[in-house]
Structure 1
Amino acid sequence: MAEVQQMMAPSPWQAFNSQGVLRIPTKKNARTHPKVDTSPGLKLGTWNVRSLYVAGKLDNLTQEMERCKVDIMGLSEIRWPNSGQCTTEKATLYYSGNNQPNRFNGVGFIVNKNVNNKVKNFVAYSDRSALLQLKADPVDLNIIQIYAPTTDRPENEVKQLYKEIKELMKLVKKREILVVMGDFNAKVGQGRVTDVVGEYGLGERNERGDTLVQFCQEEKLIIANTWFKLPPRRLYTWQSPQHTPDYVVRNQIDFLLISQRYRNGLSGVKTYPGTDIGSDHNPVIGTLKVRLKKLRRAPRKKVDMNKLKKAEIRAEAKEEINREIAKIRTLPQPPDDVGKTWDR
C-alpha cells in the first residue's frame, strides 16, 4: 500500500504548497463587523439638596458625585443668591438664584471637571429654572433643571414655572437632545399613561401630577424613572422627616424627563437612597448614551505690544480698560467665598 503523504495545514501567513492563495483575514471588516460603541455614556442626575449654604456641604456633594460616578448633577433648592459659577478642585457649580435676603429656592448644575470643557452655554433664567447646553455627538445636549413650588404655594406659581420651561425650550433646536429634570413636587402615580408614564410609578396621581403629564404629552417627553422595573426603594425620591418604621411616608416627586425620540438612549434611571447630604430627597440618576465633544474656543487675538509705544494708543487702551472695569462693577456680585461665609 502506498504511503499517504501528510502535509501541514496552511497558516494565515504562508501559502499552501507554494501556491498563491488568499490569506485568512486577521482583522474584522469594518462593513461586515461594525465597531461596537463601548463608551460608558454620560451619567447625569437630579437632586434636591435642601441648601448648599451650609458648612462643608459643597464638598460633601462632590464626594457623593464621585462615589456614584456622576458627571452632571442638576440641583434644586441650593439657596445661593444671584447667579454665576463657582469652580472647585473637582467640579464647577453653575447656579441661578434670587437676591432675596432670606435665601430660598435656587437651582443649578454641578459638573465634573472632566466634562466642564464641553459646556457651551449656561442660562440662569430664574430661581426655579436654568438651562445647561453641552457640545455632544451625534447632536448637542440640553438640560433644564427646575424646582417646582410646593403644594402649599398658589397655582399661578406653578403656571409660571411651566411658562419658564417652555421659554427655555425655545433655545433648543428641534433635533437636539432635551432633558428636563428636577423636583416637580408632583405625583404621577402608578400605572401607564400613553407613552408618557410607565408602569412603575409610585402612589396615586395628584393635581400637580395631572399638570406634569399634560405638559409631557404636549411637548413629547417621557417620565423616564417610571419606565424601569425596580424595587420600591429604587423608585421613591422623597421621605418625610417624620418617617418612622410605624409611620412610613415616601413619595416619587423628583423626575427625569427626556424627548420621546431619544428615550432608548437613556438607561438605568433609578434613585440612590444610600447617598448622604442631609436632605430628605434621594438623587435620581441615569446613563445617557451620548458622546460629549470638547468645545473649540475662538483663538485669542494677539496684541501688537509695539503699538503701545505710541502715547495716543496707550491713552486709548487705558480708556478701554477703565470702561470694561466699570461694566464689571455694575454686574451682580456672586455670593461671598463659601469658606468665609461658613466661618461667620
Structure 2
Amino acid sequence: MVMSLPLIRVKPGSAEDAYAISYGSNSLEPPTFKPLVVSTYNVRTLHQQGKTHQLFTGCSDAGVDIVSVQEHRLITSSPTDELWSDDKNWVLIYSSATDQRQGGVGLLMSRHIHRCLQSVQTINQRILTASFNGNPQLTVTIIYAPTESATSGEKDIFYNPLEDHLEKVKRHNIHLVIGDFNARIGQDNHVSHPAVVGPHCFYDTTNDNGERLVNLCQEFKLRPSQSRFPQPKSRLWTWMHPTGSKHQLDHILVNSKWVNSLRNCRAYNSVELDSDHRILSIRLHTSLRTTKGKPCKRPKYNWKKLLHAPTKNRFQIELSNRFQVLQCDDNDQSPISERYEMFEKVVEEVAEEVVGKCSPCGMPSWVTDKTLKLRSERDAAKKTYLLVRTHHAREVWRKLNTQLNESYRADELASIHRQMEDLQVANENGNYNTTWKIIHDISGKKKRSNPKVKKRDGTIPSSDKELLAEWKDYFCALMNNDNGPPTSDLPPPADQDLPICADPPTLEETRKAIQATKTNKAVGLDCAITTEALQGGGEAMVDIIHRFCVEVFTKLTPPEQWITNNSYDLAEELCGVLIEENEQFISHDVVSLFTNVPIDEYLDIIRNRLEEEQDQQIPFLNKLMGYRKEPHTDQYLSFTSHHPLRQKMGVVRTLLDRKDIIVTEEQDKIKEEEQTGSSQVWISQMDY
C-alpha cells in the first residue's frame, strides 16, 4: 500500500481542471493530485534569531512543498544535519557553510514530503542532492554557483563536480536542478538554442555564467523553466540590487523528458526574510509515494493530569466504585482472562472519563503574538515600498524590520529563561527524563532518529522487494550459522535450597513493586494498564493487582493478555528452521516480552525476593550459588602512572575501606592487605 501526495478537488471547467489528473471517472468532481510546489530561495542568512521561524511559517502559508535554500550560513560537523520546526511540520536538511559562515545550501520540505525522502548526499559545500520515492522517482539537486565576477578557475571548480553528478542521475527520473546560478540567460540564446531556451527571457543578452548554464542544459538535456511561460517582468526578477535595479539570477532546471509536467513558473513576494532575493516557484505534476504503515489504534491517555491531587482523588474514587462490581474474589470461578479483560475495560473507561486522551502537540508559544503582528506589518510595509518606491515607505519598512528582529531576540531570551526554570523544577523533583530533554533542547543535541532501513553496504533499498531480499540474506546468515554445541560459563546449581521465600506475594510486596516501577514505559496491548494508572489508582488498584498476582503464583495460569507472541518466541521457532533459496522471509512486528505492565510488577516481586539481603549477603549472588567474582585491585590505578600522588593515596585508602566493609572471608582479607600493603608503606615513606 502506498501513499501519494494529498488530493484536492477542482471545479469542472476551471483553469486548474485543464491540468487535472483524473483519479476516477464516475465522480462529478474528480479528485486530482495536488501539484507539487518546488521553490528556490536565497535567504542570505538563517543564522539570526527568528529567521528559521519566518521561513517555516512563510512556506506553510504559501503552500510550498520543497524549497532549495542558499546562503543559510549554518555550520555543522556532519555531512548533513536536520533542523525541525517547533510543530514538527517542516524540516531543513542542510550541509555546512564555510568556517567564516559564508554560503551553505540546504533543502526545506514539509513533513509529508519528508516521508517520501529516500536519500540525501552532499557533493560539496555548493552542491547537495536528494532523492524521493515516486512514480517516477524525483531527484532534486541544490546548487549555489559562483558570481559573475569569479575567476574561470573558481567556476570550473563548481561546474566539474556538478557535471560528474549529473552523469550519475538516472535518465528516467524527474530531475530538478535548482538554486542561485548567478546567471543571466538572454533572448540571444533562444535564437541560437531554441530547443533549450524558451522565448520568454528576462534579458536580451547572456553573460558568461549564462553561457555556462546553457551549455550545461544542452549537454544534459535540461530546460530552464522561466523562459517557457509568458510572465510580466514583475514576475520574472529574483534579485534586487541595492541601487534598485532588478535581475534574474535564480533558475529552476528540469530534464526535457518531464518538461511538460510543469504547470507554471514565477517569482513571489509571499515568503519574506528581509533578503534581496525573491522566492522562485514551479508547479509540477508528479506523484511522490511512500509506504504507509498501519495507524496505531491504541489511545494515549493524558496521565500527567494525575499529578494534580483533585484529579488523582477522583480517579481513585471512580476505580474503587467500579471495582466493587467486579467478581475478583476467591469464590469467583470465571476464567482469569475474562476477569482481566473486565479489569482492562474498567480502567480504560475511567481513564477516558477522568484524564482524557492526549491531544496533538501544537506550535510552542515561544514566538509571541506581538512578534507575529510585527511580522505581518513588516511584510505589508515592504510590499508597499515595492509599489510606491518612496523614501518614507522605505523608512517605515526598515524600522519595522528592526523592531521585528529585536522582538524575536526578546522572545528567544524569554523562552530560554522559561526552559531554565522548568529545568530547575524538574531537577529538584527528580524528573530526570524531563531534565535531560530540556538540556538537549537548549544545547541543540536533540535529533530526530531516521527510521529508514539501510542495506549492509550502506545504501538504501529502492523497493520493498529489495528490502525483503536483504532481510532474507540477513536471517539466512544468522539462522544457518552452525557454531557447535552451546557453551555456558554459569556455575552449577546450589547443593542446598536457598533461603528465598516461596510463599504467594503479599500485599506489601505488590505495593512496593508498583511504586518502584519507572513511569513513561511503553505499554502493550492493554494500553490503559500503565505504570501511571497503577501508581495513581490507590489501594483499590493495588488490591486487584495483588489478587491477580496471587492467582497466577498459585495456579500457574496467567491471563491470555499476559501471554503474547514476542521476539523470544519467534527466535525459538526460527532456531531450527533452514531458509531455502526459493523461500521468502517476511518480517512481522512483534511485541516485546515485558510490554505488559502487570507482569512487570509480578516479576519485580520475584526479583526483590532473590535480591533480599540476609546477614549482609544476597542469596542470588553469594557462594551458595557456587559463583563469586574474584576480587582484584591491580586494575584500578597503576602506581607507575603520572597521576598526582594524592590521587594514588586516595585509591589505596578506598581499597582498604572496601576490604573492611565488603570482604567477609578471612583469606580474602589477607589477600587484599597483601595487595595494598606494599603500596601503603611506599607512600608513607614518601616525604609528601
Confirm or deny: 8 A CA contact 2:222 2:255 kept in the other structure: yes
Query: With structure 2 as the length reference, what TM-score do the two structures score?
Result: 0.37
Paired residues for 1:277-288 under 5 Å: 277-288=273-284
1:238 is aligned to 239
Greater Cα offset, 62-71 or 141-150: 62-71
8 Å contact kept, 1:135–1:295: no
Count of residue correspondences: 270
Letter in 2 for 1:93: L
On the 8 A contact 2:263/2:282 being kept in 1, the answer is yes
The 2-side partners of 1:178 and 1:106 are apart by 21
**Cα distance in structure 2, aligned partners of 1:264 and 1:107:** 28
Secondary structure in 1 matching 2:187: coil
Q: Which one-letter code corresponds to 1:199 in the other structure?
A: P
Equivalent position of 1:211 in the other structure: 212
Report the CA distance between 1:52 and its aligned residue: 0.9
Residues 196 and 37 from structure 1, CA distance in 2 versus in 1: closer, same or farther, beyond 3 angstroms?
Answer: farther
Cα shift at 1:190: 2.9
Separation of aligned partners in 1, 2:197 and 2:158: 21
2:155 to 155, 158, 165: 158
Name the residue aligned to 2:648: none
Rounded Cα–Cα distance in structure 1 between residues aligned with 2:165 and 2:121: 8
Which stretches of structure 1, 4 residues or longer, exceed 4 Å deviation after superposition?
Answer: 30-33, 295-306
The answer on whether the counterparts of 1:52 and 1:80 sit within 8 Å (CA) in structure 2 is yes
1:241-320 matches, within 5 Å, as: 241-243=242-244, 249-295=245-291, 297-298=452-453, 304=568
Separation (CA, whole Å) in 2 of partners of 1:303 and 1:208 = 59
Q: Secondary structure of the equivalent of 1:159?
A: helix
Alignment pair present for 1:105 and 2:128: no
Q: 1:279 to 1:32 in 2, by over 3 A?
A: closer
**Cα RMSD (Å) of the superposition?**
2.6
Larger Rg: 2
Whether the 8 Å CA contact 1:75–1:110 is kept in 2: the answer is: yes
Alpha-carbon offset, residue 221 of structure 1: 0.6
C-alpha distance 162-270 of structure 1, shift in aligned 2 (>3 A): same
Q: Establish whether residue 142 from structure 1 lines up as the match of residue 139 from structure 2.
A: yes
Deviations 1:258-285 (A, max 9, x none): 0001001011110003431111111110
What's the counterpart of residue 60 of structure 1? 54
Letter paired with 1:97: S
Give the letter for the 1:269 counterpart.
C
1:168 and 1:108 mapped to 2: Cα distance? 17
CA distance in 2 between counterparts of 1:97 and 1:289 reads 31
- What CA distance in whole angstroms lies between the structure 2 residues aligned with 1:303 and 1:241? 65
Cα distance in 1 between the residues matched to 2:75 and 2:164: 22
Letter in 2 for 1:216: C
- Further displaced range: 272-281 or 218-227: 272-281
Alignment check: 8 A CA contact 2:141 2:176 kept? yes
Determine if contact 1:79/1:105 at 8 Å carries over to the other structure: yes
- Aligned partner of 2:73 among 79, 89, 97: 79
Kindly provide the amino acid, as one letter, of the partner of residue 73 in structure 1: V
Partner residue, 1:228: 229
Judge conservation of contact 1:233–1:273 (CA < 8 Å) in 2. Answer: no
Greater share of helix: 2
Change (3 A) 1:161 1:37: farther
What is the DSSP-based 3-state SS (H/G/I as helix, E as strand, rest coil) of the residue aligned with 1:160? Answer: helix
Would the aligned equivalents of 1:144 and 1:165 in 2 still touch at CA under 8 Å?
no
Inter-partner Cα distance in structure 1 for 2:59 and 2:106? 15
Cα separation, 2, equivalents of 1:45 and 1:273: 12
SS where residue 258 of structure 1 aligns?
Answer: strand
The normalised TM-score by structure 1 is: 0.73
Per-residue CA shift, 1:189-227, capped at 9, x if unaligned? 235232211111112211111111011001101001111
Q: Report SS of the residue matched to 1:62.
A: helix
- The 8 Å contact of residues 237 and 282 in structure 1, kept in 2 or not, is answered as yes
Change (3 A) 1:295 1:241: farther
Could you tell me which runs of 5 or more consecutive residues in structure 1 were left unpaired when the two chains were aligned. Answer: 1-29, 244-248, 307-344
Could you list the runs of 5+ residues in structure 2 that have no partner in the other structure? Answer: 1-23, 293-451, 454-466, 476-565, 569-591, 594-688
CA distance in 2, matches of 1:84, 1:258: 26
Percent identity between the two aligned chains: 27
Residue 91 of structure 1 aligns to which amino acid in structure 2? W
Q: Distance in 2 between matches of 1:251 and 1:158?
A: 20
What SS does the corresponding residue of 2:272 show, helix, strand or coil? coil
Q: Is the 8 A contact 1:201 1:252 kept in 2?
A: no
Kindly provide the CA deviation profile for residues 220-240 of structure 1, in whole angstroms up to 9, marking residues without a partner as x: 010011111011110011111
SS at match of 2:182: coil
Q: Which residue in 1 is equivalent to 2:532?
A: none
What is the SS of the residue equivalent to 1:105? coil
SS of 1:205's partner is coil
Higher relative contact order, chain-length normalized (CA < 8 Å, sep 6+): 1
CA distance in 2 between counterparts of 1:229 and 1:168 reads 31
Residue 187 (1) aligns with residue 184 (2):
yes
CA contact (8 A) 1:224 1:255 kept: yes
